[in-house]
């Protein structure tokens, strides 16, 4: 039973965030469609050409990689259009989504850094370095996997991208608008119910129960000091900022050292990210991609991220 759903709560928790999400998704879709319509894919892909060629990836993946530095929605829209049109296969779609981890990381880096630095000081550089190393490793791993799994022809820019036909800006706008109208209807059909369902589940306490359960079963991290386990529990059971605040207090009182705090934040990151990603990513992923494909992409992305962050954390544990 969901209690306390008045107009103010619905506006603040559901209607306004959903409207904002749909607006940002619409901007991203229009940008992605315009790039496709104006045949700018190859131009954008040139920015990542060495990695694209090494990984036998297509120009669409390269363009998506470049666009992901500015807009994750536009980047995913380009991949979805290419997948729908058969220009990339499922295998490359999954790899492309993993490949974009590095630009997605840089897109959110300023927020993460300026949140962590005031609270934990120098430890912020250690934590950010670990997560950056994980994102770089994931991108390089995708290049290696593409080299193994994709045919050599997909790395040919001209063969994969085709000839760039001249399109005026007015014609490009027209094509982009037609694609936008078709895709925005689909996004609304899937995103609005999915976002509403996740909102109601949150109000009913489902995500809180899952996070509390994770916070209460931290035996896997018994190698951390007891005070550090408190940081992990707050990171998982509350918010990232709560874990940071606790970490800052423990650092200030010299109850924990920098290494202990950084490892606790990494552990909390590993435990909390998959749940939060599913909660926040799925509503708009399900509008851009088919729902089953959206789940596959999120699962692959978060699974790979957990592996790389864990690996980077282990390296820090032994080398720091």
Would you state the pLDDT for residue 125? 92
Distance CA 131, CA 316 (A): 11
Would you state the pLDDT for residue 202? 67
Would you state the pLDDT for residue 153? 60
Regions of the chain with pLDDT less than 70: 1-5, 28, 32-33, 35-45, 47, 153-169, 171-172, 194, 198, 202, 205-224, 226, 234-239
Would you state the pLDDT for residue 162? 45
Would you state the pLDDT for residue 85? 85
Would you state the pLDDT for residue 4? 58
Would you state the pLDDT for residue 137? 93
Distance CA 316, CA 270 (A): 15
Distance CA 3, CA 217 (A): 28
Q: Does residue 151 come out as left (phi exceeding 0), alpha (psi in the -120 to 50 range) or beta?
A: beta
Distance CA 49, CA 252 (A): 46
Question: Where along the chain do its domains lie?
Answer: 7-160+169-319
Would you state the pLDDT for residue 133? 94
């Amino acid at each position: 039973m969901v209690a306390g759903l008045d107009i103010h709560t619905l506006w603040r928790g559901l209607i306004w965030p959903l409207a904002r999400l749909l607006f940002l998704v619409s901007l991203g879709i229009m940008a992605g469609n315009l790039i496709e319509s104006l045949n700018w894919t190859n131009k954008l892909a040139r920015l990542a050409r060495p990695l694209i060629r090494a990984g036998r990836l297509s120009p669409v993946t390269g363009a998506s990689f470049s666009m992901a530095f500015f807009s994750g929605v536009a980047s995913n829209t380009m991949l979805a259009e290419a997948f729908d049109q058969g220009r990339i296969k499922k295998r490359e779609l999954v790899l492309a989504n993993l490949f974009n981890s590095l630009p997605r990381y840089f897109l959110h880096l300023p927020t993460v850094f300026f949140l962590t630095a005031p609270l934990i000081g120098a430890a912020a550089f250690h934590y950010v370095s670990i997560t950056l190393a994980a994102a770089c490793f994931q991108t390089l791993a995708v290049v290696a996997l593409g080299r193994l799994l994709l045919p050599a022809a997909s790395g040919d820019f001209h063969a994969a991208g085709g000839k760039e036909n001249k399109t005026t800006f007015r014609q490009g706008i027209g094509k982009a608008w037609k694609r936008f109208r078709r895709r925005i209807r689909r996004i609304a059909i899937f995103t609005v119910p999915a976002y509403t369902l996740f909102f109601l589940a949150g109000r009913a306490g489902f995500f809180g129960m899952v996070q509390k359960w994770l916070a209460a079963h931290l035996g896997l991290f018994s190698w951390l000091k007891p005070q550090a386990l408190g940081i992990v529990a707050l990171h998982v059971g509350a918010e990232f900022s709560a874990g940071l605040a606790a970490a800052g207090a423990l650092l200030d009182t010299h109850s924990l050292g920098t290494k202990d705090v950084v490892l606790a934040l990494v552990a909390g990151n590993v435990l909390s990210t998959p749940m939060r990603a599913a909660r926040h990513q799925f509503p708009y992923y399900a509008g851009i991609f088919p729902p089953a494909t959206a789940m596959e992409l999120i699962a692959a992305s978060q699974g790979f991220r957990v592996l790389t962050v864990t690996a980077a954390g282990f390296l820090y544990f032994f080398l720091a």
